Structure 1
Amino acid sequence: MAIAFILLLGIGNFALHKAVLESGHPLLGRMPWFIHMLGGRITMATEFLVLLAALLLAANGWPGLVWAYAIYSALNAAAAWLILTDRI
């Protein structure tokens, strides 16, 4: 059950991440050059590695990690909301 919940949160994180990358927000222009080098693929790969680590840890006896990943997802959602609604 923990793995399924983390996977669903991960799908949401990827969707929010892609929406922020495609938003064209001025904050994206202030990121270092190496972030833009591959069109945001580096940040998507980092997002994937965080999801993979959470899934592997939960599968190997760390079911409490769901709470940590849920907090991470909530922070991602809050940041995406601030960026996508031009509150920042």
Structure 2
Amino acid sequence: KPLEDQELDNIEIATSLPSLIANEIVEPTSWTLEYKLPISILGKYTNVAKPAPGIKWKANFYKCGDKTSHPHWLTWSFVDKPNPNFHSPGFFGILAFE
């Protein structure tokens, strides 16, 4: 289910790229992306409570660029598989809450 506009407005995003990229960037490019997702959004769609300090979750984050002139894939926590297969919990990284 897509998020509602009000929920999207509560997600904070910071990136080193422009907010709009009109044409595909074809040369190798380094960039950063950060976002802050309120736990209340997760709580609305799942049975999750606010994690206490010290709680650890396993997760991974992905960037899929399979529909570009230079197909590429990126993971936050390295996935050691010969072909893209991101649904591999054994390779998830640790999110530690403070």
- TM-score, normalised relative to structure 2: 0.20
Kindly indicate which of the two structures has a greater share of residues assigned to strand.
Answer: 2
- TM-score, normalised relative to structure 1: 0.21
Question: Which protein, 1 or 2, shows the higher relative CO under an 8 Å CA cutoff with sep ≥ 6?
Answer: 1
- When Rg is computed on C-alpha atoms for both structures, the one with the higher figure is 2
